[in-house]
Amino acid sequence: MKNKFLNIILILSQSFLLSCESLIKEIDPSFLPETDSKLVVACFISPQDTVLAAKVTETKLLIGTTGDIRKDITNATVNLSDGNKSIRLIYSPKLGYYRALPSELPILVGKTYTITVSTPDGRQINASTTVPNNITIKEVKIDSSTVNDFQRGNTVTNTEFDVKVIWQDKAGETNYYRAISAYDVNYEISETRTNKKLSDTLISSLVDLRTIDDKDTDGQLLSLNRTFLPSINIAGVQNNRVVSDKRLNKIKVGLFQTDIHYYNYHTSLRRQRENNNPFAEPVLLYTNINGGFGCFGAYNATWQEFNAK
C-alpha cells in the first residue's frame, strides 16, 4: 500500500514538471475579430479659420503588421460641403495636409458641413458637423506661486502659474467646451562676463485646459483651469559661463464652444493618453467618421491675451 502510494505521487509530480513547458502562447491573428485597414481623417473647422485643412491617413492592423501610421494618403479626393456648395481640398506635400481657403466656403455658425473622402482603391468615408455659437469669456484668473524644488542638494525656485477661465453656460441646451492656454516664453542667453546678449528667442507652448460639458451643471458658471510651470530652472546651470534667462512674456487663453464630436473625440484621446493604469479598462477612442476613424468636428473660439506680470 505504502509503495503504491509513493509511486502514484512520483508519477504525478513528473507529469506536473512536464506540463510546465509553456503557459504563454502566441495567438493566431485569425482568432481576432475581423478588421481591415480603414481611412483616418482629422479635420476641425471654426469661423476663425484662416485655412481649411484635413489630414488623411489610414489604420494598420495591430497584430502582425509593420509600417508607419503617420504616412499620409496623398491621392484622396477630399470634398467639403455646406449643403449648397462643395469645394475640393488639395493636398500639399510640403504641409502634409489637404487644404482650401475659407473664402471659398465660409464657416458659419449654425451651418452643417459634410466632409467626404474617397481613395482610388474604392474606400470612401463621410462625416458631418454643425458649427456651434461663440461663447464669451466672463473672467480669466491667472495666479502664480513659487515652488521650491530640491535638486542635488540645491534648492531651485520656479514660478508656477494657474490659469483659470470662467464663463456662463447657456441654460436649456447641452453645450460642450474646451479651453486652451498658450504662453510665450522669451529665452535670453547671455555671456556672464560681458553680459552680452547672445540670443533672444520667443517660444510658444500650449497647455490643454481640457474639456467639459454642462450635463450636470446646465446654466451655471463653468470653469476650467490648469496649473503649469512655463519654464523649469535646473540646478547647476549657474556654474556655466553662459546663463540662460527665461521670462514668461504673454499668456493667451482660448475658450472653445465645440460640437459633440469634437468634444467626444478630444476627451477620449486625452483619456486614452492619460490611462497608464494597469487596473483600468481601456479607453475606447471616439469617432464620427462613417466607415473610418478620426474626427470631423467644429468649434467656435474666443481668445484673450495677457501680459505676464
User: Could you tell me if 165 and 223 are in contact, meaning their C-beta atoms sit under 8 angstroms apart?
Assistant: yes
Min dist CB 57 to another protein, Å, is 6
Please, which of residues 203-222 interact with another protein by CB under 8 A? 203-208
Question: Using CB under 8 A, which of 58, 169, 213, 259 touches another protein?
Answer: 58
What residues does 167 pair with on adjacent strands?
Answer: 137, 222
Of the candidates 122, 125, 99, the one whose C-alpha atom is nearest the C-alpha of residue 40 is: 125
Q: Which is nearer to another protein, 58 or 169 (CB)?
A: 58
State which residue, 33 or 110, has the beta carbon closest to another protein. 33
| Residue 42 found at the interface with another protein (CB under 8 A) | yes
Q: Is 9 in the site for another protein (CB under 8 A)?
A: yes
Q: Which of 3, 30, 50, 157 binds another protein (CB under 8 A)?
A: 50
Q: What's the min distance (Å) between Cβ of 193 and another protein?
A: 29
Least CB distance to another protein at residue 169 (A): 18
**C-beta of 257: minimal distance to another protein in Å?**
13
User: Hey, which residues between 173 and 192 contact another protein (CB under 8 A)?
Assistant: 180, 182
Q: How far is CA 206 from CA 40, 71, 184, 189, 252, in A?
A: 25, 25, 9, 23, 9
| # of chain residues touching another protein (CB under 8 A) | 88
Closest CA to 225 of 309, 140, 146, 102: 140
Binding to another protein in span 228-247, by CB under 8 A? none
Least separation in angstroms between CB 278 and another protein: 9
Nearer to another protein, 171 or 202 (CB): 202
What is the smallest separation between the CB atom of 189 and another protein, expressed in angstroms?
18
State how far Cα 268 lies from the chain centre.
Answer: 9
> Could you tell me the smallest distance in angstroms from the CB atom of residue 197 to another protein?
20
We find the least distance from the C-beta atom of residue 23 to another protein, in angstroms, to be 4
> According to CB under 8 A, which residues from 140 to 179 bind another protein?
149-150, 152-153
- Report the b/e string of 34-58 with b at 16+ CB within 10 A: eeeebbbbbbbbbbebeebbbbbbb
What distances in angstroms separate CA 6 from CA 13, 15, 16, 282, one per listed residue? Answer: 11, 14, 15, 50
3-class DSSP assignment, residue 51 = coil
Residues between 261 and 300 that touch another protein (CB under 8 A) = 262, 264-266, 268-269, 271-275, 277, 279-286, 293-294, 297, 299
The pairs formed by 16-24 with CB atoms below 8 angstroms and a separation of 24 or more are none
Which neighbouring-strand residues pair with 158?
Answer: 147
Query: Interface with another protein includes 87 (CB under 8 A)?
Result: no
Tell me the C-alpha distance between 140 and 165, whole Å.
5
Query: Mask 114-133, x = binds another protein (CB under 8 A)?
Result: --------------------
Q: What's the rounded Cα separation, in Å, for the pair 296 and 127? A: 6
Q: Which of 202, 221, 237, 242 binds another protein (CB under 8 A)?
A: 202
Distances (CA, A) of 291 to 39, 47, 67, 261: 8, 27, 22, 15
Which range touches another protein (CB under 8 A), out of 20-28, 80-88, 105-113, 231-239?
20-28
Provide the 8-state DSSP code for 11: H
Q: How many whole angstroms separate alpha carbon 130 and alpha carbon 297? A: 8
